[in-house]
Chains A and B, each alone.
Chain A
Amino acid sequence: MSSVVLVIAVFLASSVEMVEALTIVLAAGTSRSWRSALEGTFAGILVLAVLVLTLGPALLKYVPISSLRLLIGALLLIFGLQWLRKAILRSSGLKAMHNEDEVFEREVKKLKAIPQISKGRDSTSFVVAFKGVFLEGLEVVIIVLTLGVSNHKLTLAAMSALSAAVVVAIIGAVVSKQLSKVPENAMKMGVGLMLVSFGSFWSGEGLGLQWPFSDGSIPILVAVYGVVTFLLVKLLSRQYQVSLVGKEFS
């Protein structure tokens, strides 16, 4: 059961980050050079793959499993709560939704303002695409490593992340447009919930807590945190509306 949650968490996290990376690659390709933008993209993916292939087995080999679980659990809790907090703030209206169309327009404008030095390879497109893919992908690498290593399913986690990247790339190539219709916030909330659940479970295991049903607790944790998230969105949204109405009357 935890494998299913792991695959969904990694797939969603990778999809969210790759949608953001795709916007940057498309901006670099359409405004400057497709060839250099694609080279930058592949270089970024290559560096990320090397990171997973070297760090994953090394962590498993050299760090004791109980310390690893505590460390990974803590990382997942911090990372997951950051994602969840952002998604709750967006859902309750306290923070603006992420808009891929706006990001695309802004990137294109910025890139067009930089003069092209030669007719051949465009280093700006390469660097922008590389940075976009690498920085967005780094979060995915950390999720793949933490979830994959703690569950001893590194290959499954890596494959799930890679398949999400391929799916986003294919859809991006077919529609040749940034994917602004993707329900990014809902996906982010789902990933946040799963990361917090895995983080609670693994850090608890690292500290010697006794979870009922062993790793069968993970889906229960997802459900519990899901209900709390729903209530927090409602409560926060109402409190914010009350404060706005109060301001209008004062």
Chain B
Amino acid sequence: MITRLVKAFLMFWWDFLVGDTPELFIGIVLILGILFLVPMHGITGPMVMVGLVVFTTAVSLWVELRRKVRQNSQH
């Protein structure tokens, strides 16, 4: 019973955080890691963060576009 509950709880968080977009999860972890490890002063930090968030979104959309184009060319 407890094992099932723990498994269901972990599955919920896996679906919620990773789901079918692992690239977004990995991207956010990398962004926060970079900002944690590389000290940035003034406006540089916020600008780098926004740039990396935009880049992660674009990569995720590009992955989906390639997948969709490949899917269409197979039909």
**Of A17-25, A53-61, A83-91, which stretch is located at the interface?**
A83-91
- CB-based contact A209/B61 at 8 Å: no
A82 at interface, CB cutoff 8 A: yes
B4 at interface, CB cutoff 8 A: no
**Of A148-156, A165-173, A232-240, which stretch is located at the interface?**
A232-240
- CB-based contact B24/A239 at 8 Å: no
* CB under 8 Å from chain B, chain A span 28-75: 70, 74-75
- CB-based contact B57/A232 at 8 Å: yes
**Of A97-105, A111-119, A124-132, A210-218, which stretch is located at the interface?**
A210-218
- CB-based contact A209/B65 at 8 Å: no
Instruction: Name the contact of A247 in the complex, choosing from B54, B60, B72 (C-beta under 8 A).
Output: B72
Chain B CB within 10 Å, residue with most, of A81, A217, A240: A81
- CB-based contact A243/B45 at 8 Å: no
1/0 per position for B14-43, CB-CB distance to A under 8 A?
001101010011001101100110001111
Contacts A78-B17, A240-B68; A204 near B46 (Cβ below 8 A): yes
- CB-based contact A203/B32 at 8 Å: yes
- CB-based contact B46/A232 at 8 Å: no
**Closest-CB distance, B43 to chain A (whole angstroms):** 6
Contacts A209-B40, A210-B45; A78 near B61 (Cβ below 8 A): no
Contacts A77-B28, A78-B24, A204-B49; A210 near B69 (Cβ below 8 A): no
A228 at interface, CB cutoff 8 A: yes
* CB under 8 Å from chain B, chain A span 166-218: 196, 200, 203-204, 207, 209-212, 217
A1 at interface, CB cutoff 8 A: no
Question: What B residues does A209 contact at CB under 8 A?
Answer: 35, 40, 45-46, 49
Question: What B residues does A232 contact at CB under 8 A?
Answer: 57-58, 61
A94 at interface, CB cutoff 8 A: yes
Instruction: Name the contact of A239 in the complex, choosing from B36, B57, B60, B65 (C-beta under 8 A).
Output: B65
- CB-based contact A70/B68 at 8 Å: no
- CB-based contact B46/A85 at 8 Å: no
Question: What A residues does B19 contact at CB under 8 A?
Answer: 82
- Whole-angstrom CA separation of A222 from B46 in the bound complex: 14
Shortest Cβ distance from B40 into A: residue: A209
Question: What A residues does B42 contact at CB under 8 A?
Answer: 210
Question: What B residues does A236 contact at CB under 8 A?
Answer: 61, 65
A224 at interface, CB cutoff 8 A: yes
Contacts A85-B61, A236-B65, A243-B69; A221 near B24 (Cβ below 8 A): no
- CB-based contact A200/B49 at 8 Å: yes
- CB-based contact A217/B46 at 8 Å: yes
- Whole-angstrom CA separation of A79 from B43 in the bound complex: 25
- CB-based contact B21/A85 at 8 Å: yes
- Whole-angstrom CA separation of A232 from B64 in the bound complex: 13
- Whole-angstrom CA separation of A78 from B25 in the bound complex: 6
B3 at interface, CB cutoff 8 A: no
Chain A CB within 10 Å, residue with most, of B16, B28, B31: B28
